[in-house]
């Protein structure tokens, strides 16, 4: 499995408090425990009950519910298979990076959403570092990403969505989670919605592939536009 490596362009003197200033945290959550993991470009929560070799990451997500819409529960079991998703989410545009909740490192990433989400949940999740695949290292440039996604759209029509998604999952091996940088099209939507990323931060997201990695809600915020 690919090891997480330092990517200095996403970790330029970021104050973690700046990334969560719009969040309404639950009363029990201690905000002073939030730090910034430079190698991942993600918020991290200091906690004594995290297993050896693991991290408790904090991110922004709108997890899907089986029955449709979004899951606003305090504890969310990830949907990681295509047949678990509501019908409206079973398409290559939404599942072109594989099935699993997307946990974003910055709220502003939701400026790239197709529609304004009714809420954005703030969640923690515990991940073993040797079970996290850093897919950023092999994504390539914008044109490579656009070409790759176009190929997946074509193959989903010629073959089937199920086969294409299965190929994507196979490319991740047995990783519990995969980190990727935000694709080019959402970046264009950000510009349309006039949403700017925090200084020094490159939007990325973690796809949670292991349904045992329960997301724990610690707060909510609204859309950045």
| Domain residue limits, the chain | 8-221
Per-residue pLDDT, 12: 58
Residue pLDDT tens, the chain, 225 long: 545 444 434 445 789 999 999 999 999 999 999 999 999 999 999 998 999 999 999 999 999 999 999 999 999 999 999 999 999 999 999 999 999 999 999 999 999 888 889 999 999 999 999 999 999 988 888 888 888 888 899 999 898 999 999 999 999 999 999 999 998 888 889 989 999 999 888 899 999 999 999 999 999 999 988
Per-residue pLDDT, 1: 55
- Distance between CA atoms of residues 85 and 71, nearest Å: 12
Angle between helices 184-192 and 142-158 (to 10 degrees): 110
Per-residue pLDDT, 19: 95
Per-residue pLDDT, 141: 85
Per-residue pLDDT, 224: 85
- Distance between CA atoms of residues 81 and 211, nearest Å: 9
């Amino acid at each position: 499995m690919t090891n997480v490596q330092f990517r200095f362009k996403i970790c330029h003197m970021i104050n973690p408090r700046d990334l969560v200033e719009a969040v309404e945290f639950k009363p029990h959550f201690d905000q002073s425990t939030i730090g910034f993991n430079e190698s991942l470009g993600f918020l991290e929560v200091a906690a004594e009950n995290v297993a050896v070799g693991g991290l408790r990451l904090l991110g922004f997500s709108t997890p899907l519910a089986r029955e449709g819409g979004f899951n606003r529960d305090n504890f969310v079991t990830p949907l990681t298979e295509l047949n678990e998703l509501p019908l409206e989410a079973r398409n290559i545009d939404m599942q072109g990076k594989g099935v699993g909740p997307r946990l974003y490192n910055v709220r502003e990433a939701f400026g790239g959403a197709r529609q304004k989400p009714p809420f954005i949940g703030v969640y923690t999740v515990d991940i073993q570092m040797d079970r996290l695949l850093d897919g950023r290292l092999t994504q390539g440039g914008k044109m490579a990403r656009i070409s790759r996604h176009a190929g997946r759209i074509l193959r989903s029509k010629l073959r089937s969505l199920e086969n294409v998604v299965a190929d994507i999952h196979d490319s991740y091996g047995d990783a519990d989670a995969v980190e990727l940088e935000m694709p080019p099209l959402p970046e264009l939507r950000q510009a349309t919605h006039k949403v700017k990323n925090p200084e020094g931060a490159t939007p990325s997201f973690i796809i949670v592939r292991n349904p045992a990695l329960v997301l724990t809600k610690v707060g909510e915020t609204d859309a950045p536009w």
